[in-house]
Structure 1
């Protein structure tokens, strides 16, 4: 049996993922609440209202993305959404609901804001978080996350672990930089391998909903590299160890 995570509800107002997506996709925008601190790219806190329900969202406009030498310009917002749909396709619910919207500063990614204590992040976790961290660590391996800082691991009021900031994912070249090396060399739990095998099947089916959605977000070369990473993990069946070159993001928080 697969170790699927039950779909969480947003703790403050009981929103399901489906309802949150509807609000993000169809809602009206309120006044920007200001820039988020410590962000590399322009990131705004934005109220979104639909059917008298208002949520806060993290809005990252495409034109506010900082140019990078190793990621195609203007693609980070698409990678944010690609990470969300991949998390959902796995049934792991690690990434907050995320959509593409043309909002107050043009097109960009719009992600449900998760109420959390910013001081309670990866570096403050205890052993009770290990099962959820094992999923997030594996998710970063397959999505080739180049920026898993400790502060990108947040916990909501119900104790559910979320990963945020996935703009630097799905690169063709090996880019994995993460603070979560706790499981390096350890066997990957069988239920998680089963989930990855099912994801491979969805990727190989050109007519699957997931494959169609992913093809609209990242390049086919990146999808092919994604498939190779999945196959490598399924063959080796262990968490990778740090390799040559940079293995940790900077700053780590």
Structure 2
């Protein structure tokens, strides 16, 4: 089943979950599941609220709801960069359920490479040295969908856009996952997608932001089921400020601008 299929949200909401494994690299309990309903089957990720790790700056038990709210914002903006995501009960209680995205092996959109191996046109984010003292560059593809994702992350105030959270699907589309620490009212943007710093927003990004602004009031009440009313107001303010500035922001000097680890 593809993210664009009309019945995918219904399947994620009402289908029967069968746990097949666990993603052991995730910091919170992240379970790989099969889901079935009627004649439809798919794979998905299930993150139970009971398996969330406590964070000092995000209220306990809110990460699953933030994932759903981020998906709703993406959908309202007319984007499909976040896979369909719902909040529902599961084998370990309520949690986030998101459609699994099959990826193209060896077709990464974010990487750390020796300078001489950086593909033409890719955007450099950070220059450093690897553990052997050799020069290395954190880079990402100059891809229109990655750029839209970077712009959406500004609005979502994504505090954890790692390289491994940017997926190139086998369907050819680009997806972002792991939005549990988004939508805080305080500025927390941490991302590996800083390649467009200071550049004017292109027409596709401006169009996306205007679409989101036009639909935000209609979805605000639903967002308030997952985040606070203060966080909904902060979302609106970030969006308006971003449109007014008309350019991609630069990292600030008073917080760590790249998540660690970066992948």
Give yes or no for TM over 0.5: yes
93-102 vs 21-30, which moves further: 21-30
Q: Residues 172 and 17 (structure 1 numbering): CA distance in 2 closer, same or farther, change over 3 Å?
A: farther
Cα offsets for 1:140-165 (capped at 9, x unmatched): 10000000000000011122100000
* 2:257 is equivalent to residue 251 of structure 1: no
* 2:157 is equivalent to residue 144 of structure 1: yes
* Equivalent residues of 2:110, 2:166 under 8 A apart: no
Deviation at 1:123, TM superposition (A): 2.3
Aligned to 1:221: 230
* Equivalent residues of 1:122, 1:151 under 8 A apart: no
Deviation at 1:129, TM superposition (A): 5.1
* Equivalent residues of 1:118, 1:154 under 8 A apart: no
Which structure 1 residue ranges, 5 or more long, are not aligned? Answer: 1-8
Q: 1: distance between equivalents of 2:181 and 2:155?
A: 13
Higher helix share: 1
Which structure 2 residue ranges, 5 or more long, are not aligned? Answer: 112-117, 122-140
Matches within 5 A, 1:25-174: 25-30=13-18, 32-117=19-104, 119-124=106-111, 127=121, 130-174=143-187
Deviation at 1:193, TM superposition (A): 1.4
* Equivalent residues of 1:118, 1:151 under 8 A apart: no
Deviation at 1:198, TM superposition (A): 2.9
Aligned to 1:5: none
* 2:196 is equivalent to residue 183 of structure 1: yes
Cα offsets for 1:51-108 (capped at 9, x unmatched): 1221111000001000000001100000000111111111111100100110010000
Matches within 5 A, 1:203-242: 203=216, 205=217, 208=218, 210-242=219-251
* Equivalent residues of 2:78, 2:211 under 8 A apart: no
Q: How does the TM-score come out when normalised to structure 1?
A: 0.88
How many pairs does the alignment contain? 236
Q: Residues 74 and 118 (structure 1 numbering): CA distance in 2 closer, same or farther, change over 3 Å?
A: farther
Q: 2: distance between equivalents of 1:181 and 1:101?
A: 34
Cα offsets for 1:122-179 (capped at 9, x unmatched): 3249657521111000011000000000000001112210000000100011110000
Aligned to 1:3: none
Q: How does the TM-score come out when normalised to structure 2?
A: 0.85
* Equivalent residues of 2:17, 2:34 under 8 A apart: yes
146-155 vs 46-55, which moves further: 46-55
**Bigger CA radius of gyration:** 2
Q: 2: distance between equivalents of 1:167 and 1:145?
A: 9
